[in-house]
Amino acid sequence: MKYESQKVAYWYILAALALFGIQVLGGLLAGWIYVSPNFLSELLPFNVIRMIHTNALIVWLLLGFFGAAYFLVPEESEREIWSPKLAYIQLVILLVGTLGAVGSYLVGIHGGREFLEQPLWVKFGILVAAVIFLVNISMTVLSGKRTAITNVLLMGLWLLSLLWIFAFINPENLSLDKMYWWFVVHLWVEATWELVMAAILAFLLLKLTGVDREVVEKWLYVIVATALFSGILGTGHHFYWIGLPGYWQWVGSIFSTFEVIPFFLMMSFAFVMVWKGRKNHPNKAALLWSLGSSTVAFFGAGVWGFLHTLHGVNFYSHGTQITAAHGHLAFYGAYVALNLAVFTYAMPMLRERAPYNQVLNMASFWLMTGGMAFMTFVLTFAGTIQTHMQRVVGEYYMDVQESLSVFYLMRFGAGAAVVIGALLFIYSTLVARRSEIIAPGSANPVPGE
């Protein structure tokens, strides 16, 4: 760690890890309700647990992105963060908002739009926190050295924050409501977050493989161009059946097919950099997470996304377990694993220790990734049967659900593996062996940085 203010990232990562734990435990609870439908139905209904599961996911991923930005921007810009104090105020606002949202959900107050259920005051809090963040990080970047990585990161973070405005626009007309809702949900994960992902991945690969910056930058620009070209009009794949004009069926099918390209490029980027790189970085676990993230993102977003994105297919599969299968693997690969890659890279430095407990960390990678892959397969089988029985044969929804119970049991098992993996990750990141503490004040615990 070269700059004192990078320490800010430590607190963001801690908060993110705490919410990560809550998120996967919430998922496991929701998964158990699929097996035993009346479980907790009075005390903590499924919809509340589901909101906590999905909202905690989004908030911790954002906290992770903010933390990653506060960690990597000083190194890239070669200066301290403009105002560490503002960064801490931003974190406090986000945490108060999170507690407020969870508290509201527990007593049944929510906005009802999936992922955007937060009460209005929490939405405003998030907006204020985003503005503080943008000012802080922009001031740092603009007065420091400019690099392609910080340019792309800044662009992604600005655009994703601007899209948050659509969370406030909730028209009476259900078609328009859905249209704006997708502006946030789709244009986050399939456009602006992709830019953030590409920038963070580029930073990690630069550090871990030691390839030339010019090579990294060329890849970065191509990934950004293809992500925006495909992802913006690709939003059309959510406009098929919500009452918008029919041409969206063609626009959405064609452009969302192109969305596979940036994910394929990110995977290729990671492997080519490792192949070309000469550096033998000691933090092998961070490299595993980086390669794993881009690979699983290609399968989860690219392959499982393409599976149901053509309107002829989506007509049958829309809103079935196929969607849930894709949602889990895509979010896990692209954004969960990427965040865990940054945490694995940054935490040893932030705690002034050598990369420790790498074996446990890598075991957590395989447990989580294996669990997620199994969950995805199981839900894909369940979704295929569901699509056929319900949409082709025309059986009743609940009758079909009844016949899928064995898959839901297996999904619970896969989820348990993910939860154990997540707890192992948290343990391996936060609990270090004493003997490996680096003497305070020594320049850097990682040789060759």
Q: Which residues bind Fe ion (CB under 5 A)?
A: 186, 190
Q: Which residue from 288, 240, 236, 231 is spatially nearest to 263, judged by alpha carbons?
A: 231
Q: Is 425 exposed, middle or buried (0-12, 13-18, 19+ CB in 10 A)?
A: buried
Q: CA torsion 426→427→431→435, rounded to 10°?
A: -120
CA distance 415 to 328: 11
Residue 44 CB coordination number (10 Å): 16
The smaller minimum CB distance to Fe ion, of residues 75 and 190, is found at 190
User: What spatial distance separates the first Cα and last Cα of the chain, rounded to whole Å?
Assistant: 9
The smaller minimum CB distance to ligand HEM, of residues 132 and 338, is found at 338
Shortest approach of ligand HEM to residue 421 CB, angstroms?
A: 9
Shortest approach of ligand HEM to residue 422 CB, angstroms?
A: 7
The smaller minimum CB distance to ligand HEM, of residues 349 and 418, is found at 418
The smaller minimum CB distance to Fe ion, of residues 151 and 230, is found at 230
Q: Which residue from 63, 52, 61, 64 is spatially nearest to 22, judged by alpha carbons?
A: 52
The smaller minimum CB distance to ligand HEM, of residues 132 and 204, is found at 204
Q: Which does 93 bind (CB under 5 to 8 A by kind): Fe ion, ligand HEM, none?
A: none
The smaller minimum CB distance to ligand HEM, of residues 19 and 418, is found at 418
Q: Which residue from 335, 360, 412 is spatially nearest to 20, judged by alpha carbons?
A: 335
Q: Which does 178 bind (CB under 5 to 8 A by kind): Fe ion, ligand HEM, none?
A: none
The smaller minimum CB distance to Fe ion, of residues 117 and 190, is found at 190
Q: Which does 330 bind (CB under 5 to 8 A by kind): ligand HEM, Fe ion, none?
A: ligand HEM
Q: Which does 6 bind (CB under 5 to 8 A by kind): ligand HEM, Fe ion, none?
A: none
Q: Which does 82 bind (CB under 5 to 8 A by kind): ligand HEM, Fe ion, none?
A: none
CA distance 417 to 376: 13
Shortest approach of ligand HEM to residue 7 CB, angstroms?
A: 27
The 8-class DSSP code of residue 254 comes to: H
Q: Which does 311 bind (CB under 5 to 8 A by kind): Fe ion, ligand HEM, none?
A: none
Q: Do residues 100 and 122 touch, judged by C-beta distance below 8 A? A: yes
The residues, any chain, with a CB within 8 Å of residue 312's CB and separated by 6 or more, are none
Shortest approach of ligand HEM to residue 181 CB, angstroms?
A: 9
Site of interaction with ligand HEM (CB under 6 A): 24, 27-28, 30-31, 34, 50, 53-54, 57, 114, 189-190, 237-238, 256, 259-260, 297, 301-302, 305-306, 308-309, 314, 318-319, 323-324, 326-328, 330-332, 334, 336, 411-412, 415, 418-419
The 8-class DSSP code of residue 357 comes to: -
The residues, any chain, with a CB within 8 Å of residue 324's CB and separated by 6 or more, are 379, 383
